[in-house]
């Protein structure tokens, strides 16, 4: 019976314009750090959106081959991503994207010996 109903958690966080600005800056910082860790062939982007549970901060990487990877950043209280978390997210995301490339290459066709 819930198929068409909209259920929203009343405890979700509503952001002020200043909080949104801080979160966008934090996301940009994560994306920039992720770009620093990867070669230029990797495409990195970030997005601040909202869903029924409140704000959602995401950084994604599209490697040159393999599946895209993304990380949803933790929003403690909905207003900031601390410096240590930003570094952890960037490093983890870069590592995951590099692993996607490696797995894609390893699972691809192998050259035949002559």
Output the pLDDT for position 10. 42
What pTM does this model have? 0.78
Q: Cα separation of 98 and 31, whole Å? A: 15
> Taking a C-beta distance cutoff of 8 angstroms, is the pair 90, 34 a contact?
yes
Sorted by where each begins, the domain ranges of the chain are 17-105
Cβ within 8 Å of residue 102, ≥6 positions away: none
Query: Tens of pLDDT along 33-80?
Result: 999 999 999 999 999 988 777 788 899 999 999 999 999 876 766 567
> For residues 69-85, b (16+ Cβ closer than 10 Å) or e, as one string?
bebebebeeebbbeeeb
> Taking a C-beta distance cutoff of 8 angstroms, is the pair 30, 59 a contact?
yes
**∠93-99-104 over CA atoms, to 5°?**
130
69-73, strands of its sheet edge to edge: 43-51, 54-62, 69-73
Query: Tens of pLDDT along 63-76?
Result: 999 999 999 876 76
For residues 88-109, average pLDDT: 90
Residue 19 has pLDDT above 80, yes or no: yes
Output the pLDDT for position 113. 58
At 1, the pLDDT band (50, 70, 90 cuts) reads: very low
Output the pLDDT for position 78. 55
Residue 92 has pLDDT above 70, yes or no: yes
């Amino acid at each position: 019976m819930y198929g068409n109903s909209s259920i929203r958690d009343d405890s979700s966080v509503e952001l002020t314009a200043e909080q949104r600005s801080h979160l966008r800056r934090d996301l940009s910082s994560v994306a920039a750090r992720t770009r620093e860790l990867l070669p230029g062939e990797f495409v990195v982007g970030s997005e601040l959106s909202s869903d029924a549970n409140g704000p959602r901060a995401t950084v994604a990487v599209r490697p040159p081959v393999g599946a895209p990877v993304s990380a949803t950043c933790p929003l403690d209280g909905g207003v900031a991503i601390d410096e240590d978390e930003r570094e952890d997210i960037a490093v983890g995301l870069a590592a995951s994207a590099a692993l996607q490339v490696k797995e894609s290459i390893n699972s691809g066709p192998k050259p035949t010996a002559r």
